[in-house]
Amino acid sequence: MLLRYTRLALMFVMIPLLLSVAPVKAAAITVDGSACTLADAIAAANDDAAQFGCIAGDGEDTITLSANITLSAALPDITSDITFDGSGHYISGDDSYPIFSIKSATVVINNLTLRNALSTTFGGAVNVNNSTLAINQSTIRDNVANDSGGGIYAVDSHITIEETNVNDNSAKRSHGGGVYFISPTFDHHLRINSSSFRGNEASQDGGALYISGGDIEIHKSSFFENSADEGGAIEVNSSTLIVENSTFGRNSAREGGGMSAFNTDITLIHTTWAYNSALEQGGAIALIGTESGLRIQNTILSDSASGGDCHSGLKPEQITENTGNIIQDGSCPLLTDDGAESSDATPTAEPTAEEAEADDAESQTVELRAQSAQEQESANEAVLIQQAQPTATLDIMLLREEGWPPHFPLHPNSPAMDAADDALCDALSPVEDQPGKTRPVGPGCEIGAWEAPPTPVPPTPTPTASPRPPATATAMATATVAPTTTITPIPPNPEIPEYCVHLVERGENLFRIAIRYDLTVHAISSFNNLLNDDRLSVGQEILIPHRDCPNFTPRKG
């Protein structure tokens, strides 16, 4: 009897356990563009019913592309949870149609390019409403919205963009060339990580991003050559914005070349802003209105072509923190409560007129001497820089952009080296720079988005048993450091006679290298006999078919 009750008890315990581990429904639908079209695959997923050559969906479905797709008609709205696996392929709107319209669904887009889409209203490539969208290792490029959101238009939605290029999208009549994000309820978020926004434009505000409401975080990302009337890269309104380890370069606008902000709480940590421009004010950053708050931490604002580095708006006290920064033109200082510029100098009595005149004369003499000495020193240093660092700009602060997402390394003699506030540096999570190096490498953290790599230690010469003969000396062998992984590449295809060599940088993978050279992952992996999940090592040689690599000479196959 006891045994029977024990068995019954175990049955009642096991029933809920079995129910709790029931498999999640899902179907895998493959689109080949002929037997199963993309439109039919979306309909099959929406309705959980077979559509012509496409199998029925079943809950959270995956749609995999096995070929490139060019639309000849608009796609149906997406109303169910779908993951799109692009497998390196593209969907083209053929400069005539938008691509995805997502309504009350959760959608994931992986390894897919959305290009050449056209919306007569909002969202050239993607229109998202009351949904969740994650875009990973993909490209959104050359899309147009006649109104807002050239690449993506999102309302009341949660958006995540990871390791993705958003390039050359356009909003013709309004805001958000790359992305338009609005949260009227202020409850939604936008997360951008390790992504690049380049060449996007809006006729009004927010060349790369237009943001209104919600909370936004941007990490390890870059904004280059975006343009708008206000906020060449970003226009943000009534939001909370945090930007860490990110770079803004050569963006332009009438006001706020890099960013314009209205009634927004902004924190910048370890960011670099350089060569941005504004026709009126705020070449890098412009605060508009009276309710914004800007905390600037371990950040470089420099070399703004016009408009000054920073414009603090109608209320300069909106700058609530200025710690560990280099602001080249001294704009946007931290003010005290009474509106005076913060200073550690001890106040002194007012000088007499005669003393003031004498002081002015002496100051002018000292300034002229210092200026002459500085000019001579700068001239000598410029010559040394050109001889030792041919890739350096004449500005001692930064070198030319490199990597993906692109960023500005520091010149070895930059005042930003080892000069950051270490407490702010330690507070980062993770404590890494934009390319992924752990901070600090040397005695302290660098200011800006980039941390200098360790100084290489020269190899120790191999000792010899006896001295070398003076007349017939043979060069002594030196130790070399081999990469972690050695790959023997496939000989180049005779139909592609040229290739160049790319040396793998820290934090790179096949996807990032493919984006850098405008190729697919498949093209590079097959050319090098690599698997998509092969781990690359720093310094490893990757052959790039039929491309010119910076700093390397193309080789003949």
- What is the mean predicted confidence (pLDDT) over 444-455? 92
pLDDT at 28: 95
Q: Does residue 440 have a cis peptide bond before it, meaning omega lies within 30 degrees of 0?
A: yes
Indicate the range of 4-18, 208-222, 283-297 predicted with least confidence: 4-18
More confident residue, 378 or 424: 424
* Mean pLDDT calculated for residue range 38-61: 96
- Check residue 290 and give its pLDDT: 75
Annotated domain spans of the chain: 498-556
Rounded average pLDDT over 466-495 = 38
* Contact present, 225 and 253 (Cβ < 8 Å): no
pLDDT value at 18 more than 90:
no
Element (H, E) at 378: helix 353-388
For residue 262, give every residue at least 6 positions away whose Cβ sits within 8 Å of its Cβ, in sequence order, or none: 235, 236, 237, 238, 287, 288, 289, 291, 292
- Report the amino acid identity of residue 338: D
For the stretch 245-293, pLDDT in tens is 999 999 999 999 999 999 999 999 999 999 999 999 999 999 987 788 9
Task: Count CB neighbours of 389 within 10 A.
Answer: 13
How far out from the chain centre does Cα 395 lie? Answer: 24
Tell me the average pLDDT across 437-443: 92
Sheet of 189-193, strand order:
28-31, 61-65, 82-85, 106-110, 132-136, 158-162, 189-193, 215-219, 240-244, 265-269, 293-297, 319-323
Whether 117 shows a pLDDT value over 70: the answer reads yes
**Which of 41-50, 68-77, 110-119, 418-427 shows the lowest per-residue confidence on average (mean pLDDT)?**
418-427
Q: From CA 95, how far away is CA 87, in angstroms rounded?
A: 23
pLDDT, position 461: 62
Other Cβ atoms within 10 Å of 187 Cβ, number = 11
Per DSSP, 18 falls in state H
Best CA proximity match to 105, nearest among 139, 41, 59, 140: 59
Mean pLDDT taken over the chain: 80
Per-residue DSSP letters for 57-114? P-SSEEEEESS-EE-SSPPPPB-S-EEEE-TT-EEE-TTT---EEEES-EEEEES-EE
Residue 341: what pLDDT? 53
Residue 386: per-residue pLDDT: 29
pLDDT at residue 378 greater than cutoff 50: no
Q: Is 510 in a helix, a strand, or coil?
A: helix
Q: Phi, psi (5° rounding) for residue 177?
A: -60, -45
Handedness of CA 548, 549, 555, 557 (dihedral sign): negative
Q: Is the pLDDT of residue 22 over 70?
A: no
State the amino acid at position 189 in one-letter form: H
* Nearest C-alpha neighbor of 201 from the set 236, 163, 166: 166
pLDDT of residue 498: 66
> 385-407, pLDDT tens digit by residue?
222 222 233 357 899 999 999 99
Please check the confidence at residue 554 and state whether its pLDDT lies above 80: no
Cα–Cα dist 249/303, whole Å: 10
| Least confident window among 102-116, 168-182, 523-537 | 523-537
Q: Which residue has the higher pLDDT, 322 or 471?
A: 322
The secondary structure of residue 196, as a DSSP letter, is E
**Gap between the Cα atoms of 384 and 400, Å rounded:** 17
Average pLDDT over residues 427-456: 91
Which two structure tokens, joined as six digits, stand for 135? 């875009």
Residue 324 falls in which region: left (phi positive, over 0), alpha (psi -120 to 50) or beta: left
Which residues, 6 or more positions from 475, have their beta carbon under 8 angstroms from its beta carbon? none
Q: pLDDT by residue (tens digit) across 498-522? A: 678 888 876 677 767 777 777 767 6
CATH superfamily of 498-556: LysM domain (3.10.350.10)
